[in-house]
Amino acid sequence: MGLRERILADTKEAMKAKEAARLSTLRLISAAIKDREIAARTEGGEEAGLSDADLTAILSKMVKQRQESAKAYEEGGRLELAEREQDEIKVIQSYLPRQLDAEETRAAIDKAIADLGAESIRDMGRVMAELRTRHAGQMDFGAVGPVVKDRLMK
């Protein structure tokens, strides 16, 4: 079962179980996917739909948006809204691949650098592209970038 089918099945299940918060988040996910499909059709006339990698990118973006919102709510003293954002993050993350821990991330960076034969900071773009291909949705590339840069400057 693909990611899209899983989301659809879970939406139906949440409706039957009357899980309002989960259902709301799943509907937000479906809306974001439909928006992206519409944008893809108008851009290039794609009829095939989105791949699981595209869906993972959409979900990762949604998590990042909610993390930023939760932080803003906490800073503004709106803890109930921050908690709602955190609940949405948990639901969305259940559809993302498992995040690599620090050791696995370091090993993935080392392997990408070794496989590409990267030796200097000029190779950073190639290394980051390779990591995105191999580990889409499994690591925070904003945090990985400085680590890759540090490794290539040695």
- For residue 77, pLDDT beyond 80: yes
Report residue 66's pLDDT band, with 50, 70 and 90 as the boundaries: very high
Q: What pLDDT score was predicted for residue 54?
A: 84
Whole-prediction pTM: 0.73
Average pLDDT over residues 125-136: 87
Q: What pLDDT score was predicted for residue 73?
A: 95
- Per DSSP, helices labelled H in 1-140 are 3-17, 20-44, 52-75, 79-93, 102-116, 124-134
Q: What pLDDT score was predicted for residue 134?
A: 85
Q: Which of 53, 12, 13, 16 is nearest to 36 (CA)?
A: 53
Q: Which of 33, 113, 101 is nearest to 25 (CA)?
A: 33
Domains and CATH numbers, the chain: 3-94 (1.10.1510.10), 102-153 (1.10.10.410)
Residue type, 63: V
- For residue 29, pLDDT beyond 80: yes
